[in-house]
């Protein structure tokens, strides 16, 4: 080969070289977990990071960088990630979407106060807000009514606001502002509406009967 090593470098090597990464080099520590615990939190460096509860009992892999905690399944497929914590508290880093529905429910109950439930109820209307207010005021200590408030409002999920308002109004009129009574009244109101909608439609030339499709 004619020329110096520098000539060869400039001719063959340099054109193939790429620029260095713009980010700083980051180390990654691996930790293999034989079995995800029942509380679906994996320990790393004194902190506990959540994974979807359906992975309980399965192996998992933690990949820890200085800034992130990545969790993969036994086949190294990505499951989730958390921002790595260096604080003394909290020790448990939990993504609410990883929790079992009943665990999330109790977390919501314990983390929210009367003002929260009143605001939630006001989204349905004045009667529902008044119902929740009476439930809260009926308890010797307001905190004792949080379970009832959460139960009432969760039972309204997916139900038209007008229906919820009607059930709330009936409870207020009967002086029976309790979760068990509200749930029964709400069911009756929904059933009555379904019955009315299921009645035979009046005869009309523009309405096709079942025989039309035979």
Which token pair is 164? 């919820």
183 or 196, higher pLDDT = 183
Model pTM score: 0.47
**Angle (nearest 5°) at CA 145 between 142 and 147:** 135
Given a cut of 50, whether residue 22 has pLDDT beyond it is: yes
Q: Which residue has the higher pLDDT, 110 or 138?
A: 138
Q: DSSP of 31-56, one letter per residue?
A: EEESS--TT-EEEETTEEEE--GGGT
Q: Mean pLDDT check: name the lowest of 24-33, 104-113, 157-166.
A: 104-113
Residue 201 has pLDDT above 60, yes or no: no
Whether the pLDDT of residue 112 is over 50: the answer is yes
Taking only the tens place, the pLDDT of each residue in 59-107 is 999 999 999 999 999 999 999 999 999 998 889 999 989 998 888 777 7
Q: What are phi and psi of 58, to 5 degrees?
A: -100, 155
Give the start-to-end residue ranges of the domains of the chain. 29-99, 107-195
Reported as a single tens digit per residue, the pLDDT across 130-189 is 999 999 999 888 888 988 999 999 999 999 999 999 999 999 999 999 999 999 999 999
Nearest-5° angle of CA 60, CA 62, CA 65?
A: 165
Radius of gyration of the chain (CA): 30
pLDDT attached to residue 56: 96
pLDDT of res. 197 = 66
Q: Residue 86 and residue 108: Cα distance in Å, rounded? A: 26
Residues in the chain: 214
Question: Are the beta carbons of 92 and 111 closer than 8 angstroms?
Answer: no
Joined tokens for residue 143? 């905190």
């Amino acid at each position: 080969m004619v020329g110096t090593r520098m000539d060869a470098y400039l001719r063959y090597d340099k054109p193939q070289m790429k620029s260095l990464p713009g980010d700083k080099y980051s180390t990654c520590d691996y930790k293999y977990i034989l079995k995800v615990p029942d509380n679906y939190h994996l320990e790393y460096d004194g902190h506990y990071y959540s994974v979807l509860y359906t992975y309980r009992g399965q192996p998992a892999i933690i990949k820890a960088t200085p800034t992130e905690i990545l969790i993969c399944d036994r086949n190294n497929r990505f499951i989730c990630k958390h921002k790595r914590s260096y604080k003394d508290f909290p020790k448990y880093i939990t993504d609410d979407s990883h929790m079992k529905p009943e665990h999330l429910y109790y977390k919501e109950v314990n983390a929210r106060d009367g003002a929260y439930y009143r605001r939630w109820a006001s989204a349905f209307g004045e009667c529902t807000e008044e119902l929740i207010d009476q439930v809260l005021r009926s308890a010797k200590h307001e905190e004792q009514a949080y379970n009832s408030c959460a139960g009432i409002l969760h039972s309204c999920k997916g139900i038209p606001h007008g229906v919820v308002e009607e059930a709330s109004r009936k409870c207020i009129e009967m002086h029976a502002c309790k979760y068990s009574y509200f749930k029964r009244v709400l069911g009756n109101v929904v059933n009555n509406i379904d019955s009315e909608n299921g009645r035979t439609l009046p005869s009309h030339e523009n309405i096709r009967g079942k025989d039309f499709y035979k």
